[in-house]
Chains A and B, each alone.
Chain A
Amino acid sequence: MSGNALQYAGGRYLWIAIGLLAASFGLYWLQEETTPPSGGTWQGLTLGIVAGLLIFWLNYLGVRKRRYGQGGSLKGWVSAHVYLGTALIGVSLFHSAGQLGWNIHSLFFWLMMAVIISGMIGMSVYLSLPRRLSAIRKTRSRAEILEELEGLELASLERAADCSESISMAVRTALEQTRVGGSVARQLLGRDRSSFEEMTSDGGIRRSNQDQQRLLRFLSEQATQTRDAKETTALRHLMSLTARRQDLLRRVRRDVQIQGWLQAWLYVHVPLSIAVLLALVVHIVVVFWYW
């Protein structure tokens, strides 16, 4: 596997898409200049049939990608899907002669455009993000990182047991209140709502612990204040462990964010594709209903 879907077979489907657009323009141009070109002329109807079949075929990718090893490589299919899907904008505009208004046919067009644009966004994140993803994970999977994090947590708890109650509480609550991911927005924006509780005379006070910064500061402050040699050693360990957790949490959070972006467009693309398929059927029924 070398090159991405856009480069598949030397851009074969790019040329096919350009050819399709040129042929569509030719048909559009063939329409007599005597009345405004529209989807109702034989050329317009032909373009409509082509665009409709294209929509069905583009949707078929959803079926095809679940069936491995059928009819050519999946990469080839994706390449064709991307190029011909983009060309659909031109074919459908030539079909309708750019006539858009306040009606279901235009709504159908805008739904289709939403699908195509979401697909373009998806393609661009696929092209740009995975490289960053591997840089973040350093060849390790997220599960491995999480496992290491769990180990670090256990070690932190063990070390915290050697410390005073206030330190132990801070470390314990910091672990409990560490947040990665969460809602759609937090996943996609990579927001960190972690916190920990610092002991005060009248119980605990919750402090923001974004990026574990506050905990690190707390631990270093405690290290300068303590006289207990065992606690000093434990605090040094805790700081080291927290620093490693900080690094790993950053990576996981970024990983969640990038994975989110790699997935997010599909939540628009896939459901709207189905909606567009139905809108296509409605479009065809309606134009002939009131022929």
Chain B
Amino acid sequence: MDLLIRIADEAGGNSDRELTLARIMLGSANEADLQLPLLELRHATLEMGREGLMLRSIARDGVQVNGNTVKRCVLRPGDLIELPGVGVHVEEAPGGFDAMLTVRRAAGHTSVLSAQKMSLADTFLAKRAFAWIGALVVVVGMFVVPFLFSGERAVQSPVAAVLSDHVWTSGELHAAHELVTGENCAGCHGKPFERVQNEACEACHGAIQDHVSAGFLAANSAPVAAGTLDFGANANERCGVCHREHNEPSTLVSDADSDCVQCHAADGGIDRGIDPLAAVAGFTPETHPVYEFSLPRFTLENFAGSKDDGWRIDAVSETEIANSPESSQLIFPHDIHLDVGEVSDLTSGEALTCGSCHSMSVDGEHFLPIDMETHCQDCHQLDFDESDPDRSLPHARLKEAVLALEGMLLKKYFDPDDTGELFAYRRLPDRAERSAGCTDTPDVCVERELKEIVEAQFAGDIGCAACHEFERQDSKDIEDQFWVHPVKLPQDFVPDARFDHQAHQVLRDNTTNDLLIGDQACATCHAAEASERATDLLMPAMTTCYECHGDRSSASQVALACIDCHAYHPRGVGDGGLQQNALINGAEQETQQKIVHQAAQLWETSAPGAGAGEVGGGTQ
């Protein structure tokens, strides 16, 4: 028998159960096919008889059908079986079923359970309301309130840390910027939806030079117009391209090589035919050009009387180091001065070190100027008057030195108190013999001996000539017969680049893995111990750099970025920088011009008179 049982609940819903059984048991027992709690355990059965659906009561008292108590009966559609707690209606059997019953709960008892909250939806929880509240909180708390207290209005906020546009920050501001701007976001962020403009940076950093100055661009307007030199907007980018704020950790300068290379590479933005700089794509022998250094050179023909005359600064490629003598116009053998057998420290008696003469400047890059008085005179003394050993000849002033000598001789020959004993020069043991036999009048003796002394200074590898290049000149005055070349010691061979000498004081030998410190570190790049002449240019080629360094792509031991050696913002003040050099413009459109000019500029500003000063004759 196929029976459909529909259980109708009070709310009007139905749930259907289909039973396919020969005999269906109604009761409250668990094994009953239609389990109804108020019935006897086994209350009645239903089965399909010949006459139709047959109900049999098992309960002793029988079953109520249509108001009559029956023990057994045949059910027809429309009949009502009244069981304890429920009424069972016999329905017209739908297709596929032999019979259908609808079970309805008898009225009279409503469980207290029906009024209880058995779903979260019955509680205060409500997704839609929560969504509205959340949305409102987000928009008000994260946008509206910060907006109301944005910019300069932030100071009016009762709690600026949470109720102002400070909460809009995408990361900590650099402490210095935070201090200066007073956390006024709009101080730098001018217009909404517009990136921070250079004007905001220049309000404080106005003295910083553009990479390519406006003056330079204006001076080169012709080639720009011709489309050959397209520096244009790329030359002076928005500050924010390299300087990114609100980063964690705070890093104000991007040292991305790509920012430089995108213009300076062979296929970069700059016209290769016009760019004074060689193309560069990285820091490896293949991608970086050889460097050029500024070498002051002296030529006599150009000398016209002033101390800087006769000098020009050549740009020399590193490949030409061996063929490029340094022309400081000094005579100085590094090897002898570093050989303890020849020269030793006056107080300790130990060998001289590089640092005995080369004292690092506070910038860690350059060295303090070398001068006679500080570095040479302890050994190369200029005292000349035995009766007054504290007197020294004035260095670098030949005429005054000759006058001093003359005065000493006049005193010797004319002063009646003078013993007449001739002093012996420590380094001129033959002088006494030559001078001793002067039997002429004192004035003749003075003149002769003065001539002897001065000429001796320039006679060989002693006296002035020991250190200085000089020229003989025709003159009746002894002081004009010799002319000492002016001396210039280069202060910066590569003024356009930075090199941190301080950081290179400790090195590791790549082959032996030994730690190199002090002079060993210096000698890694500068072969001073083997240098016999001052004309030896003791600069290393860049192959020395590549032994330890490369760019980030080269997986070298110590990666270098462009800005580790090169400055983006030209050094100098005021209207200085790229626009001032003769780059491209002018008579000499040679690539060297830029380097030359920068070197000269630096020279002007460094070392007033000391290292680069002229050097006159000395007596010893």
Contacts and interface: CB of A to CB of B under 8 A. Distances in A.
A256 B121 CA distance: 12
A184 B124 contact: yes
A155 interface: yes
B127 interface: yes
A183 B168 contact: no
Contacts of B170: 38-40, 99, 103, 105, 287
A289 interface: yes
B547 interface: no
Nearest to A241: B37
B478 interface: no
Nearest to B103: A147
Interface residues of B, number: 70
A264 B134 contact: no
A181 interface: yes
A6 B194 CA distance: 45
A150 B117 contact: no
Given A103-B169, A146-B111, A263 B192 contact: no
B590 to A, nearest CB: 34
Interface class of chain B by DSSP? loop
A175 B251 CA distance: 72
B374 interface: no
A150 B142 contact: no
Given A38-B171, A157-B109, A290-B165, A151 B85 contact: yes
B511 interface: no
A33 interface: yes
B552 interface: yes
A289 B193 contact: yes
Select the residue from B9, B38, B165, B193 with max chain A CB neighbours within 10 A: B38
Given A154-B109, A187-B117, A288 B131 contact: no
A203 interface: no
Contact of A181 (B109, B118, B244, B561): B118
A213 B113 CA distance: 18
A38 B116 contact: no
B135 interface: yes
A279 B108 CA distance: 55
Interface class of chain A by DSSP? helix
Select the residue from A111, A274, A278, A289 with max chain B CB neighbours within 10 A: A289
B256 A149 contact: no
B304 interface: no
A153 B192 contact: no
Given A34-B254, A187-B123, A290 B189 contact: yes
Given A32-B258, A151-B37, A155-B85, A182 B135 contact: no
A102 B189 CA distance: 20
B513 interface: no
B135 A184 contact: no
B120 interface: yes
Given A147-B9, A274-B134, A291-B193, A183 B117 contact: yes
Interface string B100-139: 0000010011111110111111111111001101110111
A275 B111 contact: no
B135 A275 contact: yes
A123 to B, nearest CB: 18
A35 interface: yes
The contact size tier of chain A is 35 or more
Nearest to B35: A148
Contact of A153 (B109, B135, B561): B109
Contacts of A155: 37-38, 84-85
A180 interface: yes
A127 interface: no
B445 to A, nearest CB: 77
B131 A274 contact: yes
A7 interface: no
B64 to A, nearest CB: 16
B250 to A, nearest CB: 9
Contacts of B192: 289-290
B441 interface: no
B113 to A, nearest CB: 6
Interface string A92-125: 0000000101111101100100000000000000
Interface stretch (A162-170, A227-235, A265-273): A265-273
Nearest to A249: B113
Contact of A282 (B122, B142, B193): B142
Contact of B7 (A104, A147, A184, A282): A147
Interface in B432-472: none
Q: 7 closest pairs, A vs B, by CB?
A: A151-B37, A271-B130, A275-B134, A34-B256, A181-B118, A271-B131, A274-B131
Given A150-B113, A158-B84, A175-B111, 9 more contacts: A148-B35, A149-B111, A150-B105, A150-B109, A154-B37, A154-B85, A187-B117, A260-B120, A278-B134
12 contacts: A40-B170, A148-B35, A151-B38, A154-B38, A155-B37, A175-B111, A175-B112, A252-B118, A263-B119, A271-B131, A286-B143, A290-B185
Interface of B: 7, 9, 13, 15, 35-38, 84-86, 105, 108-114, 116-127, 130-131, 133-135, 137-139, 142-143, 146, 161, 165-172, 185, 189, 192-196, 244, 247-249, 251, 254-258, 552, 561
